[in-house]
Amino acid sequence: MSIRLTTYQKGSVVPPLPGSTLTHSTELFHIYEQTPGYAPILIVATKEERPVAKLLAVIRRSVRLFPPSIIKRCEVFGDGEYFDESLKKEDLFGLMLEHLTKTVLKDCFLIEFRNLSTSLFGYGHFRRNGYFPINWLRVYNSLHSLPPEERLEPSRKRQINRAIKNGVTTQVAGNEEEINAFLRILKRNYSSKLRKHFPDLQLFRLLMQKYPEKETARIFLVKYGQKVIGGAFCLFSGENAYLGFSGGMNKTYPLLSPNTMAVWAAITYAFERKYQHFEFADAGLPFQKMGYRNFILSFGGKQVSTRRWFRFRWNWLNSLLIKLYR
């Protein structure tokens, strides 16, 4: 297979490319490029000068407090995008995976692949390139068969009805003031979670505002009177909606259930606009007791086992983890 691979790290030289998914789009490349602490890398596979596949990764700086250090990690969401059905998708992926690994492992402490299309996708290629898998969970709601209210657990439905009765409203954020009000709540909620990465606020603003002609992201606000008391941040790609972050002033307004209303606003919006699935970004490890996972499952979602693949730069550490996660 005569395939040529080209690596792009500057948006000014990225050519027009086909594609329909946000996670491997040139639009997201440009957004990453303008976000402090983020550096995109796009690999394009061509055959006879024609693009047949592409894979977008992002390198981000991660600050660790204990021990104090700044490390770089590379993250890939999904398994790429492919444009020639006569070519085997996994073969193309294997070429791009090997190229990415050799390119970024010189500077990055860790490479992580998440949200692959199936748990077995690329298995042999990951193994040959020194990656190891960790079982993970994904939770998603099907929006194409039943209305979302018919999937709600009774206790969650009572919470929603009570909040609406008490005067809570939800809406899409429409201006900078509303966006900032939500981001302040979100940053405050995540500031105490030392192990949880919270992106630079510029990333949220760019996703919301840079491409207004495309529905790449929305912020859903929960309001009590004129006060923003919670919200949710969603991404949209193809037929799917993804809940990236959500939060609210639950301790201040326990009877208004801002967290619940934020998620509910996002789900109903996705349903009304005919998206097929609504996925929660991080449902955690299978063996991990997680109150958040129980919370999101109460909206009627399905729990699915999947894998994330990891590759560390330090060979001794990577070899040890390969043995542990056979």
**Beta strand 168-172 pairing with 132-142:** unpaired
The pLDDT of residue 59 is above 60: yes
Dihedral angle over CA of 199, 60, 92, 134, nearest 10: -80
pLDDT (tens digit per residue) in 229-271: 999 999 999 899 999 999 899 999 999 999 999 999 999 999 9
The pLDDT of residue 283 is above 50: yes
The pLDDT of residue 277 is above 90: yes
Q: What CATH number does the domain located at 4-129 have?
A: 3.40.630
CATH 3.40.630.30 residue ranges for the chain: 139-305
Q: Which CATH number fits domain 139-305: 3.40.630.30, 3.40.50.720, 3.30.70.270, 3.20.20.100?
A: 3.40.630.30
Q: What is the mean pLDDT of residues 21-38?
A: 95
Q: What is the mean pLDDT of residues 218-233?
A: 95
Cα–Cα distance measured from residue 17 to residue 96, given in angstroms and rounded to the nearest whole number: 16
The pLDDT of residue 63 is above 80: no
Model-level pTM? 0.91
Contacts 24+ apart (CB under 8 A), 26-29: 27/210, 27/211, 27/214, 27/216, 28/56, 28/216, 29/56
The pLDDT of residue 15 is above 60: yes
State which amino acid sits at residue 233: F
Predicted pLDDT at 194: 46
pLDDT (tens digit per residue) in 116-167: 988 899 999 999 999 999 988 888 899 988 899 999 999 999 999 999 999 9
Predicted pLDDT at 326: 77
Predicted pLDDT at 196: 63
Q: What is the mean pLDDT of residues 73-88?
A: 95
Share of the chain above pLDDT 70, in %: 93
pLDDT (tens digit per residue) in 183-209: 999 888 876 654 567 788 899 999 988
Which of 213-250 are b and which e, b meaning 16 or more Cβ less than 10 Å from the residue's Cβ? eeebbbbbbbbbeeebbbbbbbbbbeebbbbbbbbbbe
Burial class (CB in 10 A: 0-12, 13-18, 19+), 53: buried
Q: What is the mean pLDDT of residues 5-25?
A: 95
> How high is the mean pLDDT of the chain?
90
C-alpha to C-alpha distances, 248 to 22, 98, 182, 236, 261, nearest whole angstrom: 27, 42, 9, 22, 9
Residue 106 contacts residue 16 (beta carbons within 8 Å): no
- Where residue 198 falls (left for φ over 0; alpha for ψ -120 to 50; beta otherwise) is beta
Predicted pLDDT at 213: 83
Residue 220, strand partner residues: 172, 232
Predicted pLDDT at 188: 86
Share of the chain above pLDDT 90, in %: 73
C-alpha to C-alpha distances, 69 to 47, 63, 65, 109, nearest whole angstrom: 42, 6, 7, 12
The pLDDT of residue 285 is above 90: no
The pLDDT of residue 288 is above 90: no
